Chains A and B, each alone.
Chain A
């Protein structure tokens, strides 16, 4: 089945520094990737949607200059948290869509999630 690899799984950084999180689709081409943020005991909050070769579309309230998303290839998307602050500490999760698994009438629309990255800013 489709596998999405997310790296690193945990990262601790100092306030003011930048952190990059990678999301790779290992065995399929992901034309669309989604980035989510999740606080403890809360649901997933969509931050942005990225299509390969295009600028990401950010959700309302998400600072695009702070959360830089690059989707330069069909298998790799990156999220860079710039000038991180303690309030950016959270669990970040990527999701990729595998179009090849989508069949007419199927109940699988091909959303596959990464294992998440726990970011702690100190």
Chain B
């Protein structure tokens, strides 16, 4: 049973576009929501993370929007570049020290 549902499975945008990836969770005890970027043959790398007491967080071109009441959070990639082409995973963690629950992943392709 997947505790974090991620969509879409894949998306293609042109350079400069804003890919948006959405995640939804059920467990209200989750209190840590990170996003990871993974390139082929590499391990995931933390992009940005948010706690449930904040509704939005920006780091560089990456923005997380968090809606606690809807139990949803999303990643926006501003001014996307071909180098952003990768697989993105959302995740959630229980009680701060728990195991990360990963979404299914979204393959993003940014065309030149």
Contact = CB atoms under 8 A, between A and B. Distances in A.
A associates with B: yes
Interface of A: 4, 6, 34, 41-44, 46, 49, 91, 93, 95, 105, 107-109, 111-116, 118
Contacts of A43: 89, 102-105
Contacts of A42: 104-105
B66 to A, nearest CB: 11
Interface in B64-87: none
Contacts of A107: 32, 49-51, 54, 57
Contact of A109 (B44, B96, B102, B105): B96
A115 B99 contact: no
B41, B43, B44: most-surrounded residue (chain A CB, <10 A): B43
Interface of B: 32, 34, 36, 41-46, 49-51, 54, 57, 89, 93, 96-97, 99-100, 102-105, 107
Nearest to B96: A109
B57 A116 contact: no
Contact of A116 (B34, B42, B102): B42
B34, B44, B45, B107: most-surrounded residue (chain A CB, <10 A): B44
A115 B43 contact: yes
Contact of A46 (B44, B50, B99, B105): B99
A43 B3 CA distance: 13
